A and B are shown apart, each in its own frame.
Chain A
Amino acid sequence: MTGIIYKPLDQDILDFIKECTQLEHPESYLIAVLHKIQERYTYLSESHMDQVAHLLNVPAANVFGVATFYHFFRLKPKGKYAISVCMGTACFVKGADMVLEQFRTELGIDIGETTLDGLFSIEQTRCIGVCALAPVVTINDRVYSKVTSSRVKEIIQIIRTEEKTKA
């Protein structure tokens, strides 16, 4: 804990927490507060969780317990390109697990992690409702249909090239 770098929360989030503290059972707004923070910063940093603990008067250990219990909360920042592999039934039977595995090998990171350059992160998701296109991968708002593990390398390559030309 001594190694935490202090990153102040944005004012509107501080205001929201303050509002919560004036309500009955302020601690019951913990998840709502964490949601807001993740929405803004893409993840929950230790510094932010610690500030929430202080401001909401909930022990830091409990904040961390909640943040790790729910799969929805991320403890590491999302990549600039958030890869999301659908693991719904249709996608799964059509080989989504192999696609996911290929992304992991190609990028050298696990589910919920982000590459060192901050460019990619991998997540798995449940059915996103386009089963006809299975297996489906979304990267930010872009939908990739009928993805096979052999296409994974190419998808990443294209994004990397785009990034280079932008720079």
Chain B
Amino acid sequence: MKYINAKIDDMPVSVLEGKTIMQAADSIGMHVPRLCFHPFLSTEGACRICIVEVDGYRNYLPACSTMLQEGMVVKTNSPEIRKARRDLIELLLDNHPKECQLCERDGNCELQNLAYKLGVRERLFEGERKRYKIEDSSASVVRDAEKCILCARCIRVCSEIQGVTNLSQIYRGFNARVTPAFEANMDDSVCIQCGQCINVCPTAAFTEQNMTEEVWEAINDPKKFVVVQTAPAIRAAIGEGFDMPIGTNAEGKTVFALRRLGFDAVFDTNFAADLTIMEEATEFLQRLKKNKDLPIITSCSPGWINFLEHFYPELIPHASTCRSPMSMLSVLLKTYYPEKNNIKPEDIYVVSVMPCVAKKFEAKRPEHYSEKGYPYTDAVITTRELIWMIKAYGIDFVNLPDDDFDKPLGESTGAGDIFGTTGGVMEATLRTAAEKLTGKKQNKLDFYEVRAIEGLKEASIEINGLTLNVAVANGLQNAKKILEKVKLGNMQYHIIEIMACPGGCVAGGGQPLTEAGKYLYPMDWEMIRKRQQALYGIDTAKKIRKSHENPYVLKLYEEFLGEPGSKLAHELLHTSYQERLPRGIK
């Protein structure tokens, strides 16, 4: 290993060969201002905010993409550099709408933060600025090209992390903009609606399709019985919106806040996660018995399902036909629940709080509409949207007491809780499948083999002399690797869990935005790990940790559904997929 010795701001620095000036400066506590840079994506060098002065070079060099060399003398903060940086920000602002107060990223915008930090207090370059219409064709992702600063983070995340490559920069100079191929609407593109572009965008060029107004309206409509369900990953991240430490479990406070907002009943998607395991494990065992359509691939992540339908239609038979937990619960909330409580299903308004923007798309799929033509899920809001609602209502979230979900559709086991993290659905499936396969109670509850933090994890698990080959993938670029192997067929997998977002739902496209100003970027593994730990903590603290032991799920089968995999269960809890837009490239 070779060390490089150099000087940054008169301080001696010694770092391993192959580090950039930015990395070297970071190591001695000099945080060079940056904008297009993202630690988990390739280096772009587009914004030039991180320029530094290096002795012997006539031009300023970008710290993010210049390697530190032996003997370099670097200045990060000369008066000229500071002025040049400020000019660069001013030029970006000149081409940017002046509507910070009306913007959804106000207070959490990297451009705004930088302008403030670098001391931009006046606009010196006033000229023509780009004008584009807001593109809101998609159910999930809204694109506002006027707010785009061409940092290309969205382009990079879409291709490098998700393997979709829906976006690219088109035209050049003043006319340059980011769009899908052929300037198609997001709706007509190969976009899988995962929302990772929203998470990495430094401004508000990408945002979710906001549904809060519809939800307020429903709550205030006396004729409607408004129920809400929250996904497993919400409780692990919502606290961040109120400056609570990352990884705080805020389940009880969330329930309390939702009741205060005026929801008539508060349920837990985790209940349906347990139900999903019942159905999915049954489906798996049937396929195993017939040795047909193996591996079974999980179907909870709507971003992944979109990816499957766009790019791997030939693998559709492998996907579990189970609806996602959200849709399962919504179906029950408009069938079983009204029947038991003497309410007209049409009067029930189901709101889902999800860590995901693709769920907004899922809820609008015709498969998730009743025969009478009403949707099972009326509105999907993200964790971010719920945080706004709570703040707008003036609720002091941090100091709320804890409250419990309504029964019976609010009770879950530890297996349901861990659905929100990568590896969680797999672990929950294994807990149930192991007992169903052996017919005996198993003591093993923690399947550390599948608790992945990395993007792809494979394991072989022995159950009763049978070896189950399983794989867990998060981030679709990782999923592709495993899907290609399935296509080749030289390795027999039994169960594959795929979640579209890196880290699983805990880092979904609808989760609170980490503040890059605090040097924390979306996809930060430490942040994801803390959120995961919150879920594993809930799981470990539960008495019942296997889905098939959830008494309320068992009662539901007894009273209403019959058996797992029954005809009614299939009608209500399962769905189908189809090849869609088979264009673009894998």
Contacts and interface: CB of A to CB of B under 8 A. Distances in A.
8 contacts: A1-B180, A1-B189, A1-B581, A46-B182, A61-B168, A64-B168, A64-B182, A64-B183
B43 to A, nearest CB: 18
A59 B168 contact: yes
Interface in A31-76: 46, 49-50, 53-54, 57-65, 68-69
B309 to A, nearest CB: 15
A59 B170 contact: no
A161 interface: no
B585 interface: yes
A65 B188 contact: no
A59 B159 contact: yes
Central interface residue in A1, A49, A61, A64, by most chain B CB within 10 Å:
A61
Interface in B166-200: 166-172, 180-184, 188-190
B245 interface: no
B168 A49 contact: no
A68 B171 contact: yes
Closest 3 CB pairs of A and B: A59-B165, A65-B168, A60-B181
Given A63-B181, A64-B181, 9 more contacts: A1-B182, A1-B581, A2-B188, A4-B182, A58-B585, A59-B584, A60-B584, A68-B171, A69-B169
B223 interface: no
Interface residues of A, number: 19
A98 to B, nearest CB: 23
- Main secondary structure, interface of B, reads loop
A59 B165 CA distance: 6
Nearest to B585: A59
Nearest to B177: A68
Interface of A: 1-2, 4, 46, 49-50, 53-54, 57-65, 68-69
A142 to B, nearest CB: 31
Contacts of B189: 1
A1 B188 contact: yes
Interface in B553-585: 581, 583-585
Given A1-B188, A1-B189, A65 B170 contact: yes
A75 to B, nearest CB: 9
Given A46-B182, A49-B182, A60 B170 contact: no
A65 B180 CA distance: 9
A110 to B, nearest CB: 13
Contacts of B169: 65, 69
Central interface residue in A2, A46, A57, A58, by most chain B CB within 10 Å:
A2
B109 to A, nearest CB: 26
A60 B585 contact: yes
Given A59-B159, A64-B181, A54 B168 contact: no
B154 to A, nearest CB: 11
Nearest to A50: B583
A62 B166 CA distance: 9
